[in-house]
Structure 1
Amino acid sequence: MNFKNLFRFTFISALSLATFSCSEDDVPSSGPSESNYRPYHLVIGSSPTGESETYTQGVTVEDLNNPDKTFTFSGFGKEIPSTRTARLYTSDDGETVYNLNYGGGDIAKYDYVSGQNYDLLLTTDIQAVMGTAYPRWTKIDENYAMLHNVTTENIYENPEDETSPYIKTTATVTLARVDLNTMTVLENSSFEFPYSEDESTEGIYAFRIDAPVITNGKLYYGVAKRFYDALTGERGTMVYDNIETLVVDYPSLENETTITSTLAQGSTNGYRTPVSHKDESGDTYQLVTSGDASIMKISNGAYDTAYGKFDIKSLLGYNAEANTGWFYVGNGIGYVPVLNTDLGDNASSNWDIVRIDVYNKTAVKMNIPLDLWLRQYQWASVIDGKLYMALASLGGVGNVYIFDPNSTSPDGYTTGATLETGTTDASYIGLF
């Protein structure tokens, strides 16, 4: 059985303004809430590969904590239209959901009503501005989000003859700032990525940026690179000898430059999860998202050589890669989805949740009795100083996991509501 059958009562078009109501038989049905908390949103994706339908439902904090509560998406949930898995954010009060239809080339804004009931408020086509239906985006703060994309072109001595000597590959960055109140595009900018002369002549170029943070009036973007092999005319295996971050003024999106460090090697862009977090002192801690799992510190506009590299992999005792992102709770404590590459690649259910202390450089693998596949996991929520994650085995059952950052134990968590996926290929992608 697939999601199209399970969710046939909740299908709508991307432009529909209708809301849905559920019957009394719907397990997750929620009426008027007496909660003192904001609403949160459980989100599930229907497939680990290719095109993926995405569904959401609103939940209360009380129900998230209730071990006698069960949430299911079987015959329940609001579909958030997506050509591929939807890229979601919420407002700080939980009353609004924002979505980038990745592959559909539009962004949308929904008003949360209750349960599976959401009203589509605004939708905006962003293809003309971004030049693609496949940009990425990041909510910057309560009022704005950033759209970003990179296009590349191989440059030859004779522009009309690809058999002539290869010169370099250029990368053109396109940025646009979105007003989340009106869902309109404000500033936008396009420029050539500030390439390294040495890397450029070797065929190395930036091909993706993502997951920016704002610090002192500047945006810091994680960067991924590729290698073009001029001898074969094909993309080769990229071997990093450093890490790099793109920096632009905010909100003008001007004065592009980069910062680099050879203390770590890999990409810094992540996948669909936050990669860089500012702590309470204003320093930024950035996850290296290819190669060995590690954290770097950015202070005063540069990589902090005194901090060096926080080598998470060496503390775990296995080949660990953290290629999605991580979640920061506070006071230096965060939690990282980590892939055990000794046991399999991104497609395998060999992921762990690791508690890290970026100040003291400690890492503890949490004892979670689930076969986790977290490649598409997008979001976790901090509630009352604890991290709430929706975790379930692929196509199986799981729980709301509530991690206590004050505990250094591998068992430093409690479990709340039960989570059902409903189909063999479904996975929870976040609690928003």
Structure 2
Amino acid sequence: MKINFRSILSIACLSALSLSTFSCSEDDTASATSSETSDYRPYHLVIGSSPTGESETYAQGATVEELNDPNKTFTFNGYGQEIPSTRTARLYTSNDGETVYNLNYGGGDIAKYDFIGGQTYNLQLTTDVQAVMGTAYPRWTKIDDNYAMIHNVTTEHIYEDPEDETSPYIKTVATVTLARVELSSMTVVENNSFEYPYNEAESNAGIYTFRIDAPVITDGKLYYGVAKSFYDALTGENGDMVYDHVETLVVDYPSLENETIISSTLAQGSTNGYRTPVAHKDEIGDTYQLVTSGDVSIMKISNGAYDEAYGKFDIQALLGHNAEANTGWFYVGNGIGYVPVLNTDEGDSESSNWDVVRVDIYNKTAVTMNIPLDLWLRQYQWASVIDGKLYMALASLGGEGKVYIFDPSSTSADGYTTGATLQTGTTDASYIGLF
């Protein structure tokens, strides 16, 4: 079901994608966001119109003072600018908050907006990347304030006789395509394609890589999370994938060459995530990677390999129930982060049975935060660190919520304060981030 906002779906809004300033409210004096000055960069509240892949996406700006104000209410009822995308927008912002970047997933283009204020954003540049990526459905990750990486995997089942799928199955070839985008000009400055480095035993068994995502850069190399699938040649269909290890694709940066893989059998599952950061570098330079299928756990990558001495940080074992963290997580600093976790004893990823769990990656502790909301966080994309605390926009699906401000110095389940009230404006909308 799609939102029927009275203003933001107007013809004017839908036709305003030009190099001009525009907003999509019947009343530009709407009070959802004031024009008061702030000592901080601007931030952006973003909502998805429904819990489906095809949901529309809307944004509005906010000051830090407003986010902290318990008397402030943000609403998307007749307010907010649509960030156009074929499916839910994939957003990032510049470090100063003045620019918003979007991948139109399903549309095959990337766009850059200047933030003017309130619900007003100015489209600056768009670039069609389908010719480079070979698909309208690539994924992307902002690497730093200058560059982003776009990535995609295509697969082909290879038979002894290419014209006869009843002939003996040989393997499934996965081809990786990478492109580096300069954000100032929104142009591709490097790209490369290569066959994913496959394991012969896995390949013969019909196991192949079908997705990579959420890279981090360390010591001149990109580390990509990996998801695999199982092809049953007897049925000609995909079957249930059973992992016996975790794996990461590594390429040189910025050349995007010299592809290798690292792996570990200490954990089992995918490492690619969904729309949320999955791996983070700490202050020392080590990388901590969430396992995003199977049991909730975190692995450490140090000096270009999985750290066997660190082992597996088994988060699920500390929670007391079966759980999965199939989106990603947010790192605050000094070993403390927060993980959206699904209680799989209570339902699948489409259910409102999500928690936010505080983790200490150094001491391997986990605490479920005491949030009195029925949370659905499958499409949650971003949280912001402000003054050493993590700010998350959390609301029940189609209901109200708050800006939650998590204090990493507190080990309590109540280690947070709340700020502004958040309204969704429709029965099936959800906040997907504070950018």
Q: TM-score, normalised by structure 1?
A: 0.98
Whether contact under 8 Å (1:2, 1:423) holds in the other structure is no
The share of aligned pairs that are identical, in percent, is 80
Alignment partners' CA distance in 1, 2:9 and 2:158: 49
Whether contact under 8 Å (2:33, 2:61) holds in the other structure is no
Whether contact under 8 Å (2:46, 2:434) holds in the other structure is yes
Q: Which moved more, 1:190-199 or 1:15-24?
A: 15-24
Match of 1:11 in 2: 13
Corresponding letter in the other structure for 2:255: S
* Consecutive unaligned residues in structure 2, runs of 5 or more: none
Match of 2:57 in 1: 54
* Consecutive unaligned residues in structure 1, runs of 5 or more: none
Counterpart check, 1:26 vs 2:26: no
Alpha-carbon distance, 1:262 to partner:
0.2
SS in structure 2 at match of 1:368: coil
Alignment partners' CA distance in 2, 1:25 and 1:120: 21
Whether contact under 8 Å (2:16, 2:22) holds in the other structure is no
Match of 2:280 in 1: 277
Counterpart check, 1:319 vs 2:322: yes
SS in structure 2 at match of 1:3: coil
Whether contact under 8 Å (2:276, 2:329) holds in the other structure is yes
Match of 1:246 in 2: 249
Match of 2:71 in 1: 68
Whether contact under 8 Å (1:27, 1:72) holds in the other structure is no
Alignment partners' CA distance in 2, 1:188 and 1:391: 37
SS in structure 2 at match of 1:118: strand
Alignment partners' CA distance in 1, 2:335 and 2:118: 35
Corresponding letter in the other structure for 2:30: D
Counterpart check, 1:334 vs 2:337: yes
Counterpart check, 1:375 vs 2:365: no
Match of 1:291 in 2: 294
Match of 1:39 in 2: 42
Corresponding letter in the other structure for 2:139: R
Equivalenced residue count is: 431
Corresponding letter in the other structure for 2:276: T
Alignment partners' CA distance in 2, 1:382 and 1:88: 16
Whether contact under 8 Å (1:13, 1:81) holds in the other structure is no
Alignment partners' CA distance in 2, 1:228 and 1:21: 47
Match of 1:401 in 2: 404
Match of 1:425 in 2: 428
SS in structure 1 at match of 2:4: helix
Query: Residues 66-85 of structure 1, C-alpha deviation per residue, up to 9 Å, x if partnerless?
Result: 00000000100010001000
The correspondence of residues 10-409 of structure 1 with structure 2, limited to 5 A, is 11-13=13-15, 15-16=17-18, 17-20=20-23, 23=27, 26-31=30-35, 33-409=36-412
Whether contact under 8 Å (2:13, 2:23) holds in the other structure is no
Alignment partners' CA distance in 1, 2:30 and 2:268: 49
Alpha-carbon distance, 1:25 to partner:
5.8
Query: Residues 346-379 of structure 1, C-alpha deviation per residue, up to 9 Å, x if partnerless?
Result: 1000000000000000000000000000000000
Alignment partners' CA distance in 1, 2:327 and 2:15: 30
Alignment partners' CA distance in 2, 1:95 and 1:188: 28
Alpha-carbon distance, 1:21 to partner:
7.2
Alignment partners' CA distance in 1, 2:236 and 2:396: 41
Q: TM-score, normalised by structure 2?
A: 0.97
Alignment partners' CA distance in 2, 1:200 and 1:20: 51
Q: Which runs of 4+ in 1 moved over 6 A?
A: none
Corresponding letter in the other structure for 2:13: F
Alignment partners' CA distance in 2, 1:430 and 1:170: 36
Whether contact under 8 Å (1:102, 1:136) holds in the other structure is yes
Whether contact under 8 Å (1:349, 1:371) holds in the other structure is yes
Corresponding letter in the other structure for 2:9: R
Alignment partners' CA distance in 2, 1:58 and 1:407: 29
Alignment partners' CA distance in 2, 1:427 and 1:26: 21
> Structure 1 residues 369, 25: closer, same or farther in 2, change over 3 A?
same
Alpha-carbon distance, 1:2 to partner:
4.6
Whether contact under 8 Å (2:93, 2:100) holds in the other structure is yes
Alignment partners' CA distance in 2, 1:404 and 1:13: 43
> Structure 1 residues 314, 374: closer, same or farther in 2, change over 3 A?
same
Question: Aligned-pair RMSD on alpha carbons?
Answer: 1.2
Alignment partners' CA distance in 2, 1:149 and 1:244: 17
SS in structure 2 at match of 1:407: coil
